[in-house]
Structure 1
Amino acid sequence: MTVLLQIGRRPPGPAASALPAPAAPPTGHPDLRVFRSAHGAHLFLADGSRVYDLPDERTAARLERWATAPDGALDELARELGLPLWERPPRIDGTPAEVPPLASLSLNVMQACNLSCGHCYADEGRFGGSARAMPRATAFAAVDRLLAEAAPGADVVVGFMGGEPLLARELVHQVVAYAERAGAATGHPVRFALTTNLTVLRPEDARLFAAHPFTVTVSLDGDRAGHDALRRAPGGGSAYDRLRAGLALLERHGRPRHLAARVSVTPHTGRLLDVLEHGIGLGFDEVGFAAVVSAPDPGYEITADTFGGFLAQMVECGERALAELSAGRRYPFGNFETALHQLHRGTHRPYPCGAGAGYLSAAADGGLYACHRLVGDPEFAMGSLAEGPDRAARERLLAQRHVDRAEPCRSCWARYLCGGGCHHEVTRRGRPGCDYIRGWLAFCLRAYVELCEAAPGYFRAPADQAGPVGAAGRREQS
């Protein structure tokens, strides 16, 4: 019997959310993909996101021929090649996930912003309506609801979104104090997350972030010229200069536990490698890119025609990260490190995220929605703080948007890594980025094998040294 070596760990159980929409059908077989690295030929199995070394090029070529034109059943091919790979039952079988306990709730504490950005999906935080702030009673009710709906003793996350949440700083400070008291009373450790443009940060905010378990994500669009070209500050001032002043305050008064930069990529964004290295140079713990697919002004959207260029630039960044990490140097490119650690864990999911499942978002008026990007959208309304999450609506979302029920997702080898695409983007723009996602994941598969060979200790390092997740790296004999 041919022996294969499995890279990484056995995957965990299924996770959490997805949706259908027209897109070009993928090529190849949906259950496997042969790829090559500097160390030979390898096999990726969609079931469990497993990666194996193949014993020789003959086996690789036979698998590729079968994937292009299947002749018989997959288990027959496995027996022919002596590959003991297709276990039963499959880890994901099209059955919708059960609605889990609530684990995270974001509060849209200020549905208004001090900046004007043409690519903002939230319409400066108004979500197509009028600017409003969340009342304190509503915010406290959101914390109470999260703790009531959480699993006993589980960690929970309270997020602060906008607009610009620090325009409601007094409320943010009050909610942190209230949540920690309430969580202690119910036995739930509470962590916090906040997304900000950092332009209105004050010393007391920095001290709050440092004193409590906070992840702070900062919107960054490049150097001074690139950032200010996309973010218009009132009175014509520089949004970038204000961001740098905010970073200086964090250095003086205390950094959060994790400080990330998120770059929203538009056709106006400069060379991504330059933006990435600029963000790393500013001292962020992680820098990541997200293509703008849905924006109020279509001129800011990455389209099917421009995703190819986006992929080429992402791979350029990934190659730099691979070289640096292989040499044992830290290089916090978030998209790359997240993908590699997901492959190492064997992450596989039938949904793109926890939206509508373990994660909900509360609007300023107390309505609950599947996520912060879908506030105000009746299709994704999930109940209210007063009456609680709408279980039927959450069940409907998990049933309708399972990746194996979506077209053309069910035919794609990358479906359990992608999960079917962001609900907000797919609802508004379909799936223009499918080829990009497959191209990026194909690069990450090759990079994963090469990093395993060059720096196996990377996957054994603590999370704060090795990236988003520290995992016990190893190759297992199948």
Structure 2
Amino acid sequence: MIHQYINNGFHIIMDVNSGSVHSVDPVMYDAVKIAAQLVPDMEKAAALPKEAEEKVLLELLSTYEEAEVREALEEIQFLIDEGELFTKDIYHDYVVDFKKRKTVVKALCLHIAHDCNLACKYCFAEEGEYHGRRALMSFEVGKKALDFLVENSGNRKNLEVDFFGGEPLMNWDVVKQLVEYGRSKEKEYNKKFRFTMTTNGVLLNDEIMEYCNREMSNVVLSLDGRKEVNDQMRPFRNGKGSYELIVPKFQKFAKLRGEKDYYIRGTFTRNNMDFSKDVLEFADLGFESMSIEPVVAQDEEDYSIRQEDIPAILEEYDKLAVEYIKRQKEGRGFNFFHFNIDLTQGPCVAKRLSGCGSGTEYLAVTPWGDFYPCHQFVGEEEFLLGNVDTGVTNTQIRDEFKLCNVYAKDKCRDCFARFYCSGGCAANSYNFHGSITDAYDTGCEMQKKRIECAIMIKAALAEG
């Protein structure tokens, strides 16, 4: 499968099955495009047929010199021989073995607090309540969750635990107790816990910052960008904005993190489709790592992103990519999550096929110890998997998630982005289509654009 596009003056050819990416001149770009149209089943051939070569030559002679076209045809054959163009799909056969694999749990999202001190308008957790009741996780429930993780992690050494909410800092003492408990088990079971946390920053203080910098491998700091944008969507319950309180804390925290990971995580909505300005606001505030995600909401919400908004949003990603390159070359670059892409190795086969691992390798745990496939399914009773006392008992749902891969989704099979996004978010698919094997179409369009921008950026920075 071949995907081609032009972005910021760069002519990009992607060979989807091999993961090979080529930044080429216009004649090579056009030659591959015509060849792909002439021989749609090229993946089954070892060479471009002579008849097709002649047709490519004839079509391009009105635009390019004959020597240029013949050189491009030679390059096409060279890349075919090297396994970097028109390659076969070697991953499909792996899918049949997925359900047979022993389930190994490697990560938990601990809902340490179903409560929050903000009232973010787009919050899927309903101010932390998750369609249920406000509650704080007890140490005993958290301890059982960590025991479950250790017992079900097989031979895997590195385990991840994310403290999530609501707002985790509203249950800070239990967070510390669970970190201490996890550390006490590492040597005994030959495990290494990687603790992470997501916070809105309201309760951050020097003691918490110092502790996090010692114990948390990554901290996600929630902020939506410019003051007017953030305060419109992330107010306190009394309606007052949160920007002025949390930004100085986040700036101090980011400086204290040193070499440890953190990133600012924002959400953009229909109210700020000029979100590149919010990303640049993060950078200008001194933050080095950031992400801004599109809101996921039904059309009836006034802030939701709709299909008619997509063209403007795609242009905004292009605009951000150009500024991203400019700042990188000026020595004042920043790390934007969606523009990070590894073209040398990429994800392993399992990751390419199964994505985030929700429902199988990754589970969410409620304050009272129930297991769900991920935080976005919490409160949806049909997805209740079990609890910390019984373990995973709903194996039917678990097995459905185990087979939730790019070949199980009709919309993914012929999509060039399938091995980068691994099929997208199961929760978004369910919320919009009632099935975990569909795809959230609006999100797909944005994801494909981000991938294209990320690859173009690689080409631009390689050029110097």
Specify the TM-score bucket, using the shorter chain as the normaliser: 0.7 to 0.9
C-alpha separation between the residues in 1 aligned to 2:369 and 2:362? 15
Verify the 8 A CA contact 1:369 1:375 in the aligned structure 2: yes
Aligned residue identity for 2:375: H
Aligned residue identity for 2:334: Y
**1:76 aligned partner:** 45
C-alpha separation between the residues in 2 aligned to 1:253 and 1:438? 35
TM-score (norm 2): 0.82
> 1:66 deviation in Å?
4.5
**2:401 aligned partner:** 397
4+ long deviations beyond 4 Å: 36-42, 56-59, 68-73, 86-89, 251-256
Aligned residue identity for 1:130: R
Verify the 8 A CA contact 1:118 1:296 in the aligned structure 2: no
C-alpha separation between the residues in 1 aligned to 2:123 and 2:401? 25
> 1:57 deviation in Å?
5.0
**2:463 aligned partner:** 453
C-alpha separation between the residues in 1 aligned to 2:398 and 2:376? 16
> 1:241 deviation in Å?
1.8
Structure 1 or 2: larger helix share? Answer: 2
Equivalent residues, number: 419
> 1:427 deviation in Å?
1.2
In structure 1, runs of 5+ residues without a counterpart are: 1-30, 455-478
Aligned residue identity for 2:170: L
Aligned residue identity for 2:235: R
Q: 1:360 to 1:72 in 2, by over 3 A?
A: closer
Deviations along 1:318-354, one digit per CA (max 9) or x if unpaired, are 1111222244543222211x2x33x343337123422
Q: What does residue range 15-26 of structure 1 map to in structure 2 within 5 Å?
A: none
SS at match of 1:293: coil
**1:4 aligned partner:** none
C-alpha separation between the residues in 2 aligned to 1:71 and 1:195? 47
Aligned residue identity for 1:279: F
C-alpha separation between the residues in 2 aligned to 1:295 and 1:166? 30
Q: Relative contact order: is structure 1 or structure 2 higher (C-alpha 8 Å, sep ≥ 6)?
A: 1
RMSD over aligned Cα, in angstroms?
A: 2.7
**1:48 aligned partner:** 18
Verify the 8 A CA contact 2:232 2:241 in the aligned structure 1: no
> 1:92 deviation in Å?
4.2
> 1:239 deviation in Å?
0.9
Indicate yes or no: 2:345 matched with 1:345.
yes
C-alpha separation between the residues in 1 aligned to 2:452 and 2:414? 16
**2:29 aligned partner:** 60
Verify the 8 A CA contact 2:358 2:373 in the aligned structure 1: yes
C-alpha separation between the residues in 1 aligned to 2:181 and 2:259? 19
Q: 1:88 to 1:305 in 2, by over 3 A?
A: closer
C-alpha separation between the residues in 1 aligned to 2:256 and 2:289? 20
Which deviates the most, 139-148 or 85-94? Answer: 85-94
SS at match of 1:452: helix
C-alpha separation between the residues in 2 aligned to 1:89 and 1:439? 23
Deviations along 1:451-475, one digit per CA (max 9) or x if unpaired, are 2232xxxxxxxxxxxxxxxxxxxxx
C-alpha separation between the residues in 1 aligned to 2:275 and 2:91? 36
Deviations along 1:277-302, one digit per CA (max 9) or x if unpaired, are 22123333311111112269622221
C-alpha separation between the residues in 2 aligned to 1:256 and 1:132? 34
Identity of aligned residues (%): 22
> 1:159 deviation in Å?
0.6
SS at match of 1:140: helix
Which deviates the most, 325-334 or 275-284? Answer: 325-334
**2:67 aligned partner:** none
Aligned residue identity for 1:32: I
**1:469 aligned partner:** none
SS at match of 2:389: coil
Verify the 8 A CA contact 1:121 1:296 in the aligned structure 2: no
In structure 2, runs of 5+ residues without a counterpart are: 50-75, 433-439
Q: 1:299 to 1:93 in 2, by over 3 A?
A: farther
Q: 1:95 to 1:252 in 2, by over 3 A?
A: closer
C-alpha separation between the residues in 1 aligned to 2:369 and 2:258? 31
